[in-house]
């Protein structure tokens, strides 16, 4: 069965430090992978996606993600964290029926 | 283009009642998906409609139903409300298969 896992419920990073939010997936066939961010009392906002091509994908607000097929991972990264990056982050994968499956989310806290 | 809109934004109902939530997708988007978001379960897929047909369905009881109109607007109905139905209900649209979804702000449903 298709699934996506975000192993960390919460990640704390000091402002200015690099950040990583982890995501692993299980899907048959070629994966379509997505990252979304949710700010308080808001819907989800699309950050970036991987469909094919370069393993390093660049997205909005300075975020990037690295697709690693052998490790079935799609970790979200940013070289220098901002306090305003504090939010809830969701990884998602498209399954074989074009249904989008979301991970449980990782709460990112950037400490000033 | 205007974003995805959802009405109402907030709703309070009592157990046993029914509720209808509405979603207007981005113009030109033919796919509309519904999700239930709760702190404990994260984002759970309810169903997806494409050109007025239900394409995918999640694992929710039959009390949860939906439909899509010819203008792509969608409604979601929950009958015989239970306390556990209290959640943020998110609607998302996308233009075609494989693309990222664009989310509305959600409807916060509270069941008393």
Q: How far does A64 lie from chain B, in Å, by closest CA?
A: 16
Task: Please answer whether residues A2 and A96 qualify as being in contact, where contact means their C-beta atoms are separated by less than 8 angstroms.
Answer: yes
Contact yes or no for B105 and A101 at CB 8 A: no
- Supply the pLDDT for residue A14: 97
Residue A84 has pLDDT above 80, yes or no: yes
Interface check B98 vs A, CB under 8 A? yes
pLDDT digits (tens, 9 = 90+) for B76-85: 999 999 999 9
A51: nearest CB among B45, B98, B103: B98
Please give the CATH topology (third level) of the domain spanning A3-111: Immunoglobulin-like (2.60.40)
Whether the link from the prior residue into B8 is cis, omega within 30° of 0, is: yes
pLDDT band at B98 (very low <50, low <70, confident <90, very high): low
Task: Enumerate the domain spans of chain A.
Answer: 3-111
Q: Which residues of A20-44 are buried (b: 16+ CB within 10 A; e: fewer)?
A: ebbbbbebeeebbbbbbbbeeeebb
Share of chain A above pLDDT 70, in %: 100
């Amino acid at each position: 069965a298709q699934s996506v896992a975000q192993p960390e419920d919460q990640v704390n990073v000091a402002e200015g430090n690099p950040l990583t939010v982890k995501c692993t997936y299980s899907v048959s066939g070629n994966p379509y992978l997505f990252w979304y961010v949710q700010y308080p009392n808001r819907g989800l906002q699309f950050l970036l996606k991987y469909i094919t091509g370069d393993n390093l994908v660049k997205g909005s607000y300075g975020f990037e993600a690295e697709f690693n097929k052998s490790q079935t991972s799609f970790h979200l990264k940013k070289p220098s964290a901002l306090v305003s990056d504090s939010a809830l982050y969701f990884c998602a994968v498209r399954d074989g029926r074009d249904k989008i499956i979301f991970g449980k989310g990782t709460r990112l806290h950037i400490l000033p | 283009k205007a974003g995805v809109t959802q009405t109402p934004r907030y709703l309070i109902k009592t157990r046993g009642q029914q509720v209808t939530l509405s979603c207007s997708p981005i113009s030109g988007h033919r796919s509309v998906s519904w999700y239930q978001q709760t702190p404990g379960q994260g984002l759970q897929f309810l169903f997806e409609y494409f050109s007025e047909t239900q394409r995918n369905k999640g694992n929710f009881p039959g009390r949860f139903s939906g439909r899509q109109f010819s203008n792509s607007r969608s409604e979601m109905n929950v009958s015989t409300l239970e306390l556990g139905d209290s959640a943020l209900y998110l609607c998302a649209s996308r233009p075609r298969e494989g693309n990222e979804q664009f989310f509305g702000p959600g409807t916060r449903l509270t069941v008393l």
